[in-house]
Structure 1
């Protein structure tokens, strides 16, 4: 058995027990960020300048960030507590608050080398926006102060300072070799792990550094880990075995495992994040990554609502520091959780909120995707007349938005037995796919609109074939959609939200091929654990075959998944 299975197995068993119990008991760089896609990614936006208030204060002590502490050399209790707040904020992907906290620590102890080390940490590339990172040239003033006071630091702090010096190179003032600097920084931290083997924060900093080198890139689509993944998972697991409340390990473990075929290994982390860091928006939000991947959709909706409130709370407490009080990503994930749980009303509400906070243009296909979010719950819940009567404004050069509309309208026509108009929508979609803008990935960490458009094309074609009773052609088209979907890079929320296997499974049941449908549904459940649509399909396929052994557990599964649905669906798709 492969080594990585031994690492996952204990947690997988724990997750299985949790799932069974729930069935039966009824988830800023401070440098300038050049962003064409504001507010789309997982984490707050980023700004460069942080100024003190009229009293010289950079930030107040914030509520709800836990009690993690990393002892530093200082005679000031205030410097220590602001350093701790800054470090937790950094671990939580709130580097703007982190930077202000480290600056406040330096205000209380201007000779504290770790206060400047923290500022250098916060000014580094962010996990979700690394591709847009532009190094702030003012960093070298901070580095100078960090090095100036290092003689008063402990041996461990001197080593951390030396590692931080590897992250920035004054001879590379334009930061052209950023990747090399990131690698050098990570290598320096790894050396420190062997020197300070009991230091969980050094392990966390190394994990963070490696994640910055490989953002959103930890698993192959077949469920196998990338070469660097298991080392980082092992570090986070080791940290949590010693300190179950460690903010970095709780957070990073979800990122490291959510794209695997066993995301439930981090379910307890999600529960811990929202309890231990109840006011930290991104930490509360991160729980939803786990809830969505494990079939706890209402929990995903709830924590995103709380995360959105947290942004407002911190904004009110840090006047002028946080320049945005709304994160569209939270609405997007919330809408995705709701549509996955059959909660059409909530899904539409959150999708419309998401739409209201984006500004699409011809180049920005991701914002077009967010703008068109309401179409996905309408298709998911079979609201065909709503789709056909919708008059949403779409500019003529918003190609991807038009593709989503044509897909939705085509599905509505097909399901309404209006095949000629469904075919017209399909032909329009095929024509629009020729736009070269669709070949550009949404971001470097995502697939392209073209790949999603291909899935849409094949599902719509299959739906038309199915209504025409050309079942072999329909099956072939669904299989092409599945192949295209399996090639997508993992994102949260999914860049394509309507799994093709659920369509194929429903067709196979319709044409009395339950054994084949069972295989399809099991494969989808393996890729999307806990999803009620395929659990319902599995139940129906087992029922048709008169297989009774797993009927109860399958029914319990989809019942839990649709516990808050507007209505339990009759099939895996409408």
Structure 2
């Protein structure tokens, strides 16, 4: 990252905090980019409505809800204000997409918008589309409702080709339904095709670079996202999520210093605004980047800050994942196997988060001479996988299956079964290669193919190990473990020549 970009980002963050403190004592973001979303409500609420949508585009959901509610208080007949409130309960790119406890509230708001009636056909389409997300939520699977929403947004975008918000929200709907198993990235590319021309026309719109970053957050497309990553934090520096999002692209490209800069700013902004989930999300990416840069002491400091945080809601997936992933990363990336074997997830953590801690214990036990004890962790991972599969969460069930295979591989290696170990780890690596990461994480704690490289190093199969490390680096550039693996494999190869 150019030094000028870093200086500009820092100054904008400081200025936005000063402005927020002067104007809003509760710290609601005020530098959010430029949004123009004309609605047929009282003219007095138009500016506040635009601000509410800007908050929404930066996933500042709580602040956006307050802002839309403020619109409704000034103009109770503004149907789109209630559409906006209902939108804040729909998190298309986060898990859970709709918190179960909020469904009734969200349904009430969208039904109120429907009863009031839209002031234009365009507004009616926005309200109708969102209504499909909440309609029959108790009986119709989310995936079906999300696809219905996407189709309705497609119709809206087609009928309003010159309406920037129709196009941007349609692009987000496409990203919401992008399959993590689609390695062609069809929907991501479709969304990007919508957003790239708009980005040139509306360079200060916060949603456009935000969703471009999400569209390009994969190894195939990441290099295309660098311009959006550089732009977004400067457009909306008061939004913690806008400060963090560039690091998704920086992580994909191995730009660790840039990722650290982004997440330090995002962490501080989220802390000042009381957004614990966003603060922890930034901290997780920060620990990841510090470890890849060899800045272990700074990573340890972030983890100590985590330990000092009290009353974390471990049932919240975003909070639970980050708070478990950080100490796991720190132990496993540094080969501290005894520490890894002692990690335990909170009792109320979601099962797919608990699986990360179970995996860490299993790998830690297997790699510290206690392979027999790792069997209990393998059994627990299988139980979690089955639980997730039964509940319909196939993505995370697959991820847990990959983790299970990794623990089994390290256990087999410890038990003197090298061929079995290599086959198990290769199967995990091949399976992992077929799915993309979700936005909640910078990637696997340690990619399975990188682990395969180290397994082959232990088996003194340097040539095969080198190939696996190089393949791992093609997908995850700049990872410290894989780079060290390349050096180690080369060293083993040179020894064999003499």
- 1:65-84 aligned at under 5 Å gives the runs 65-73=32-40, 76=43, 79-84=45-50
- Looking at structure 2, the residues matched to 331 and 270 of structure 1 have their Cα atoms a distance apart, in angstroms, of 18
Answering whether residue 254 of structure 2 is matched by residue 283 of structure 1, we say no
SS in 2 for 1:347: helix
Answering whether residue 290 of structure 2 is matched by residue 338 of structure 1, we say yes
- Looking at structure 1, the residues matched to 271 and 384 of structure 2 have their Cα atoms a distance apart, in angstroms, of 39
Shift of 1:204: 0.5
- 1:179-258 aligned at under 5 Å gives the runs 182-212=146-176, 214=177, 217=179, 220=182, 223-226=183-186, 228-258=187-217
- Looking at structure 1, the residues matched to 134 and 471 of structure 2 have their Cα atoms a distance apart, in angstroms, of 52
- Looking at structure 2, the residues matched to 58 and 144 of structure 1 have their Cα atoms a distance apart, in angstroms, of 35
The 1:446–1:94 alpha-carbon spacing in structure 2 relative to 1, beyond 3 Å, is farther
Answering whether residue 338 of structure 2 is matched by residue 377 of structure 1, we say no
Cα distance per residue 1:251-310 (max 9 Å; x no partner): 112222213433232122222122211110122222222222221234334433322322
Shift of 1:473: 5.0
The 1:458–1:484 alpha-carbon spacing in structure 2 relative to 1, beyond 3 Å, is farther
- Equivalent pairs, count: 459
The 1:490–1:443 alpha-carbon spacing in structure 2 relative to 1, beyond 3 Å, is farther
- 1:110-129 aligned at under 5 Å gives the runs 110=76, 112=78, 114-124=80-90, 126-128=92-94, 129=96
CA contact (8 A) 1:63 1:279 kept: yes
TM-score when normalising by structure 1: 0.67
Partner in structure 2 of residue 11 of structure 1 = none
The 1:349–1:234 alpha-carbon spacing in structure 2 relative to 1, beyond 3 Å, is same
Partner in structure 1 of residue 21 of structure 2 = none
Shift of 1:490: 1.7
Partner in structure 2 of residue 349 of structure 1 = 301
Q: Structure 2: where are the runs of 5+ without partners?
A: 4-23
CA contact (8 A) 1:99 1:119 kept: yes
TM-score when normalising by structure 2: 0.76
CA contact (8 A) 2:281 2:319 kept: no
Cα distance per residue 1:119-177 (max 9 Å; x no partner): 45435464323254524242222333343xx1xxxxxx532323423432799576644
Answering whether residue 424 of structure 2 is matched by residue 454 of structure 1, we say no
Partner in structure 2 of residue 483 of structure 1 = 430
The 1:251–1:517 alpha-carbon spacing in structure 2 relative to 1, beyond 3 Å, is same
Q: Structure 1: where are the runs of 5+ without partners?
A: 1-17, 22-56, 151-156, 316-321, 414-420, 547-574
The 1:79–1:60 alpha-carbon spacing in structure 2 relative to 1, beyond 3 Å, is farther
Partner in structure 1 of residue 377 of structure 2 = 429
- Looking at structure 2, the residues matched to 493 and 170 of structure 1 have their Cα atoms a distance apart, in angstroms, of 25
Shift of 1:88: 1.0
SS in 1 for 2:130: coil
CA contact (8 A) 1:281 1:310 kept: yes
The 1:385–1:296 alpha-carbon spacing in structure 2 relative to 1, beyond 3 Å, is same
- 1:52-63 aligned at under 5 Å gives the runs 62-63=29-30
Partner in structure 2 of residue 165 of structure 1 = 128
- Looking at structure 2, the residues matched to 63 and 124 of structure 1 have their Cα atoms a distance apart, in angstroms, of 22
Q: Rg: which structure is higher?
A: 1
- Looking at structure 2, the residues matched to 386 and 487 of structure 1 have their Cα atoms a distance apart, in angstroms, of 31
Cα distance per residue 1:295-350 (max 9 Å; x no partner): 123433443332232234335xxxxxx7x587433333332333333332233333
Shift of 1:480: 3.4
CA contact (8 A) 1:254 1:269 kept: yes
The 1:85–1:372 alpha-carbon spacing in structure 2 relative to 1, beyond 3 Å, is closer
The 1:58–1:165 alpha-carbon spacing in structure 2 relative to 1, beyond 3 Å, is farther
Cα distance per residue 1:440-496 (max 9 Å; x no partner): 26993742364144243244236526xx6x754553343234234335552342574
Partner in structure 2 of residue 138 of structure 1 = 108
Question: For 1:264, which of 223, 231, 239 is the aligned residue?
Answer: 223
Partner in structure 1 of residue 273 of structure 2 = 314
Write 1 or 2 for the structure with the bigger share of helix.
Answer: 2
CA contact (8 A) 1:459 1:500 kept: no
The 1:162–1:384 alpha-carbon spacing in structure 2 relative to 1, beyond 3 Å, is closer
Answering whether residue 371 of structure 2 is matched by residue 407 of structure 1, we say no
The 1:202–1:298 alpha-carbon spacing in structure 2 relative to 1, beyond 3 Å, is same
- Looking at structure 2, the residues matched to 309 and 380 of structure 1 have their Cα atoms a distance apart, in angstroms, of 25
Cα distance per residue 1:192-241 (max 9 Å; x no partner): 433432322211011123334x1x62553xx3224x34322211222223
Question: For 1:329, which of 251, 257, 281 is the aligned residue?
Answer: 281
SS in 2 for 1:130: coil
Answering whether residue 51 of structure 2 is matched by residue 103 of structure 1, we say no
RMSD: 4.3
CA contact (8 A) 2:358 2:381 kept: no
The 1:187–1:279 alpha-carbon spacing in structure 2 relative to 1, beyond 3 Å, is same
The 1:385–1:138 alpha-carbon spacing in structure 2 relative to 1, beyond 3 Å, is closer
SS in 2 for 1:529: coil
Partner in structure 2 of residue 51 of structure 1 = none
